[in-house]
Amino acid sequence: MPPTEPRPASAADDLPADLRPFFEAARQVPSRDPARAARTRAAYLAQVQALRPRRSPRGHRRAAWFPRLTRRLAWALAVLVLALAVSVPAAAHAAQDALPGSPFYPVKRWSEGVQLALARDPQRRATLLLTFAERRVREIRLLADQGQWEAARQALADLEALLAELSPQQVRAAEPLAERLDVELLTTAALAPTALEADLLNVVNGWAALHLQAQQDSAADLAFFVGPLKAIEGPTWRIGDREVHMGPETLIFGVPQPGDLVEVLGRARDDGSWQALEVRIAVRVVDVQSAQVEFIGVLEARQGSRWVVNGLEMEVAPKADIVGAPQVGQRVEVAATWDARHGAWILWHAEPVAQLYGVEVEFSGQLTRREGRVWWVAGLEVQVTPATRIVGPEPQIGDWVVVHAWRQADGTLLAEEVHVAGSGTGEEFQPTPTP
């Protein structure tokens, strides 16, 4: 081995003698190889990476537990909804007969409020309001029987609030329920104790006025006429000189054929035609030699011996019984006979009729005042004529009565029949048996 050349003098020569051997040993270390150092560093880093614990990114960690939590919440919500779907209707059904003071009564009222809030159709809302009003009336009766006066008054206030939401149009649309409410109110008022009498009377009178207005509105645009059925062209019939339309709501009684005399109840349309609600065969004149008809109608035309009443053209018989001098536009009662030989209706009796045949109405209430032929029932003025039929005992002040009347063009109510439904006996009302 060749001798090592001496190194030039350096700062190590100035070191103390005891440190100089270490310095000389360090100088014998070979120089650092950069390429080898890089390979060594890469191998070290690879080993460190391999030994590092595997950890998912933050988003992936959430994705692992979030679906599990979502599924748990979904199951919990499904169970809750199912429990509500089963328990709420069951509780609402069980609460239908609950009275104030019962733990189920708030459920009953809450259920009613929800149904009203969801009722967007006016007719559906009217049905609900009248149904709930009937419930309040029954509650009032039961609470009064139990002597719970404050609760009965609260139910009465709730009843008044329900009725205040109703319009005549809504009452007209739910007439069967309105008639049922009439019966319930009349029965409750007839049995009402003194403690509730005045308040209940106010509600009954208000309802009677509302129901009467609904009946008047319903009948105001209805008309009745009689005429010969001349032609049937699908849903359009020619009755007399009128064009009458049959719709899905039209009630046709029997099988009318051309040539028959028919009665029509319907409404006039803007174009001059009619929409029929009911059609009945008055007289079937085909293949018969003689037939008779009697009806009340409007004298629409009068030219010599030719009269037209409600679309029916008639020939006045030479010896016809004509009472007074009926004028065109006047209501008349006529009687005619079918003459098959001449193919014509022969008028043999005619007389003007009183305007008793206006708009037909029926209502109930308490008879509060009588002055001769004028009676006040449920706050309404009623004309009682000698022709008025009194069913049952003579009505007295304080009695509860049902009035069948005709409303005239000027608003006057002419009573056709008065039925005593409850008689006053001291401080309370007792129901009168229906004859």
Q: What is the pLDDT of residues 293-307, one digit of tens each?
A: 777 778 889 998 999
Question: pLDDT, tens digit, for every residue of 191-217?
Answer: 777 778 788 888 888 888 888 888 776
* Amino acid 375: pLDDT: 92
31-40, 42-51, 55-64, 222-231 — most confident range: 222-231
Query: Is 58 or 172 the better-scoring residue by pLDDT?
Result: 172
CATH code that applies to domain 221-284? 2.40.50.320
Beta strands in 49-195 (DSSP E): none
Same fold? 221-284, 359-431: yes
Residue ranges of alpha helices (H) inside 320-426 are none
Strand 290-303 relative to strand 242-245, pairing: unpaired
| Closest CA relative to residue 286, chosen from 209, 365, 230 | 230
> pLDDT (tens digit, 9 = 90+) per residue, 313-332?
899 999 899 988 888 988 88
CB 273 within 8 A of CB 242: yes
Domain boundaries, the chain: 119-220, 221-284, 288-353, 359-431
pLDDT in tens, 396-411: 898 888 888 877 666 6
CA-to-CA separations, 100 to 9, 95, 109, 135, 151, in angstroms, rounded: 117, 11, 10, 12, 6
The whole-number pLDDT of residue 429 equals 41
Confidence of residue 238 (pLDDT cuts 50, 70, 90): very high
Give me the mean pLDDT over the 359-380 stretch. 83
Q: What is the pLDDT of residue 434?
A: 33
Q: Where are the beta strands (DSSP E) in 53-150?
A: none
Q: Report the CATH architecture of 288-353.
A: Beta Barrel (2.40)
Q: What is the pLDDT of residues 101-113, one digit of tens each?
A: 777 788 888 888 8
Q: Are 400 and 366 in contact (CB under 8 A)?
A: yes
pLDDT at 143: 86
* CATH number of this structure's domain 359-431, picked from the four choices 2.130.10.10, 2.60.120.10, 2.40.50.320, 1.20.1740.10: 2.40.50.320
Q: Span 251-255, mean pLDDT?
A: 78
